[in-house]
Amino acid sequence: MTSAKSADSQNRDIDQMLKDKMPALGIDLGGTKIGCAPVADFKVIGEPSKVPTPKGAENIINTLVGLIEEARKKHILRGVGIATAGIVDTETGEVIGSTGNLPGWAGTHIKKEIETRTGLPVHVDNDANAAAYGEVKALGLSDKTCVVAVTLGTGIGGGIIMKGQLFRGAHYAAGEIGHMRSNLNNHRLCTCGLFDCWESYGSGRGFRATAKELLTNVTVDQTPLAALLPDPPVDKVCAAAQEGDIIAKRIVDAWHEHVCAGIVTLAHTLDPDCFIISGGMAKFVDYDFLKELVIDKCLPRVGERLDIHRSSLGDDAGIIGAAQIALDNLVAG
């Protein structure tokens, strides 16, 4: 009797071990493309596949189901994690806040639709929150009191992790840090319809707006960058700054001041252990300079103890984070 019981429990252990090794499919749904890969132990298996994002909610759902079925031909999946732009009710898996990049997406019951069609457990999360979760777990920062992950891309996204858990707020909208008001003179219109959001200054779009302002009325004799108006590319301006172009340097410095402004507000609000910077603009950040600016603009006890790290997961953070939340939910459930 005892030995039969222990054989049973051994079988359960083996069953659990096999399950623990099974990957979840991570999907990162953006406005222009959908990235997708199986994920186990914070690593993508193989190269993520990328397909263009189709127009309309029904077409997006069909594409997601197609990607899942394709992945199932090669892998036994334990579940699916989907990171999407927009505000997500993570209990029901419904998109409750629309995003300009995915028109008609709000109101879609992603979890219900995909679970019904694939039979797999599905977790849906905001893309910046999923990326934040992946970064914190991958960097071994789960025991920290508070970590703020900032995605500096075309816009700015964010995720707030407290003691290894995402802080979602009262209405699932915590971490919409790109829309913190950072100026009071209604100078720049944000894509959300409000004026002077942090992302109108600190994002890639904000960088280009600053470059445009500082290059207006400048001649090509003063800087060759003037020839790149009306929309000077970020990499060209940063390269010129590296080579000593004074106006380019002024643009890059102003952008660092803008990034610093949001970080300082968050530092004083949350007193985090550290910030993790990811997204397409992360490679243009001079981390020593940014840290110096933050210390200068923060209350002494807040700024000096802050760490600012660059992302460890890079472009795959959304895919890894979404899949890892799905896996962790399955373990917890």
Residues that bind Zn ion (CB under 5 A): 179, 190, 192, 194, 197
Kindly state the smallest distance separating residue 182's Cβ from Zn ion, in Å: 10
CB of 157 to Zn ion, least distance (A): 11
Nearer to Zn ion, 156 or 263 (CB): 156
- Closest contact distance (angstroms) between CB of 331 and Zn ion is 36
CB nearer to Zn ion: pick between 192 and 282: 192
State the DSSP string of 99-113.
-TTSTT-TT-BHHHH
Instruction: Give helix 110-118 / helix 57-72 axis angle, nearest 10°.
Output: 40
Least Å distance, CB 35 to Zn ion, is 25
- Token reading at 166: 């995402």
Residue number with CB closer to Zn ion (26 or 157)? 157
- C-alpha 300/C-alpha 295 separation (Å) is 7
Nearest to Zn ion of 167, 195 (CB atom): 195
Residues written for the chain: 333
Residue number, 102 or 306, with CB nearest to Zn ion? 102
- Closest approach, Cβ 183 to Zn ion, in A, equals 12
Which CB sits closer to Zn ion, 168 or 179?
A: 179
Which regions of the chain does DSSP assign to beta strands (E)? 24-29, 33-40, 43-44, 49-52, 79-84, 87-89, 94-97, 122-126, 147-152, 156-162, 165-166, 274-278, 307-310
Which residue do the tokens 């994920």 mark? 39
Residue 86 CB, shortest distance to Zn ion, in Å, is 14
Which residues sit opposite 49 in a β-bridge? Answer: 36
Cα of first residue to Cα of last residue in the chain, in angstroms, is 30
Q: Phi-psi category of 232—alpha, beta or left, where left has phi over 0 and alpha has psi -120 to 50?
A: beta
In whole angstroms, the minimum distance from the beta carbon of 192 to Zn ion comes to 3
Q: Which is nearer to Zn ion, 53 or 191 (CB)?
A: 191
Q: b/e string for 228-250 if b means 16 or more Cβ within 10 A?
A: beeebebeebbebbeeebebbbb
